[in-house]
Structure 1
Amino acid sequence: MIFLKKIKKFSTSVRNIRPVSHVIFDIDGLLLRTEDIYYKTDEQVIAKYGKKYTWDLRMKILGCSEQTTAETLVSELKLPITPTKYNEEVKKILKKTLKEASLMPGAERLVKHLAANNIPIAVATSSGKESVIAKTSKHQQLFKLFHHIVMASSDSEIKHGKPAPDVFLVCAKRFPDNPNPEKCLVFEDSPNGVKAAINANMQVVLVPEEYVSDEDRKLATCVINSLNDFNPELFGLPPFRDCD
């Protein structure tokens, strides 16, 4: 774990739960272990210009689109480059390192369980197409189970990144039956992602790192330590079987 500032371990908590019919997943830090990769990359590029990547700044951009991240970092740190140039430098590094991303605990089990039970599932990520291709390259069979993947940083229909609801609303709309947002359950790891889901009028399961504050966790419908701890029955979804 790169982040040194941590909050004490947390236990599962739930509130105001209602049944759902569709499920939407974030990728980074939720399905794939990529947050440390992104952190190291941003830190490397920022250090190149004699600046320091602070804790508060990291929390500010967690879950944001690639463009918003670049604009925020360049502006806040007064980097002598444009956001476009910043993104170019970051993508050059990530093109190689993201291919090593591994699955988060419980991700494969949950996705396969929902797919096997014909629950419509999709992905809504702040990333762009190039980075999604890189980080999912070793897990193609799993990601083929999703009906669609919405990539906010390269999707012209999405005007505003998280915490705006755009990416989740567009994702829901692209299911064949265009479900009411209230029937969608989102899985997220970042506070900005949780806010985006809430703004889309969707329920959200938060699977945060230890550094996410108690205040940010309170916004979620459900908070769990890992995807292994998720109980589908709470949301009216098919229960896991012993063989899952």
Structure 2
Amino acid sequence: MLEGIDGIIFDMDGTLLDSMWIWPSIDDDYLNKYQLTKPERFHESMEGMSYPEVAQFFLDTFPGLSRTREQVMEEWMQMARDKYRTQVTMKGGVHSFIREMKSQGKRIGIATSNARELTEDALDALKISGLFDVVRTAGEAGAGKPAPDVYLMVAAELKVEPERCLVFEDVPMGILAGKNAGMKVCAVEDAFSSLQRGKKKELADYYINDYYDISNETYEVLE
């Protein structure tokens, strides 16, 4: 998996951190607050979108919601910040994996669809900000996943060619973003996307249940 790889790029939620559970909870609270009914395939429809894109999706889905995009984003921010500061944990084995990769001289980045503020809250709370050479959001790149923009931005700032980057992702749209950037992609098991496991394996190059699979060489190589 790591042969010919100089750059490691992580998605954050559901990949680096066990945090995907936060957003259905916030969405439900927000929908209840404004007495809105959640349509079918609601969360799947938002998969990979940047933070501003998700806020716009809410406004497009619920035209009667008399809020601006900025107001929606700020309300979510207030609802999410405490959870990201106090309730988020790292995925199994990822901390030791990153430290091992750094010891081998590999460059380490994050390419997330989340907001910059929440990303920094989580990394600071877990005291892991210093592990990453570059942290970028899809909003900063100007396009959500599956567009490759945020992965290409991170690779450029890491000064690593895309074909020498390995991406870790937990959902199909993120996997596609990495592949669209010309990178190898390892799919990561996460409870939130368990129903999409088959699709994830169709799209990715490798599959892990946790990061111990890499050191134990028990990861799945996909055709």
TM-score when scaled to structure 1?
0.80
Q: What do residues 75-96 of structure 1 show as CA deviations (whole Å, max 9, x unaligned)?
A: 2243513322211210111122
1:167 paired with 2:150, answer yes
Q: Where does residue 90 of structure 2 map in the other structure?
A: 103
Rounded to whole Å, the distance in 2 between the matches of 1:113 and 1:208 is 21
1:201 paired with 2:182, answer yes
Which amino acid is 2:161 matched to? N
Q: Is the 8 A contact 2:178 2:185 kept in 1?
A: yes
Q: Is the 8 A contact 1:23 1:119 kept in 2?
A: yes
Q: Where does residue 221 of structure 2 map in the other structure?
A: none
Pair 95,221 (structure 1): closer, same or farther in 2 beyond 3 Å: same
Structure with the bigger RCO (C-alpha within 8 Å, sep 6+) is 1
Is the deviation greater in 180-189 or in 142-151?
A: 142-151
Q: Is the 8 A contact 2:179 2:185 kept in 1?
A: yes
> After the TM superposition, which residues 76-95 of structure 1 pair with which residues of structure 2 at under 5 Å, given as runs?
76-80=61-65, 81-95=67-81
Rounded to whole Å, the distance in 1 between the matches of 2:213 and 2:61 is 37
CA RMSD across the alignment: 2.3
Extract unaligned runs of 5+ from structure 1.
Answer: 1-13, 235-244
Q: Is the 8 A contact 2:14 2:170 kept in 1?
A: yes
TM-score when scaled to structure 2?
0.87
Point out the structure with the larger helix share: 2
Q: Where does residue 183 of structure 1 map in the other structure?
A: 164
Report the secondary structure of 1:24's partner residue.
Answer: strand
Q: Deviation at 1:159? A: 2.0
Q: Deviation at 1:72? A: 1.4
Q: Is the 8 A contact 2:172 2:199 kept in 1?
A: no
**Aligned length in residues:** 214
Q: Where does residue 239 of structure 1 map in the other structure?
A: none
Q: Where does residue 230 of structure 1 map in the other structure?
A: 214
Q: Deviation at 1:187? A: 0.5
**Moved segments of 4+, more than 4 Å:** 231-234
Q: Deviation at 1:111? A: 0.9
Q: What do residues 93-132 of structure 1 show as CA deviations (whole Å, max 9, x unaligned)?
A: 1122211211111111211111122211111112222111
1:212 paired with 2:207, answer no
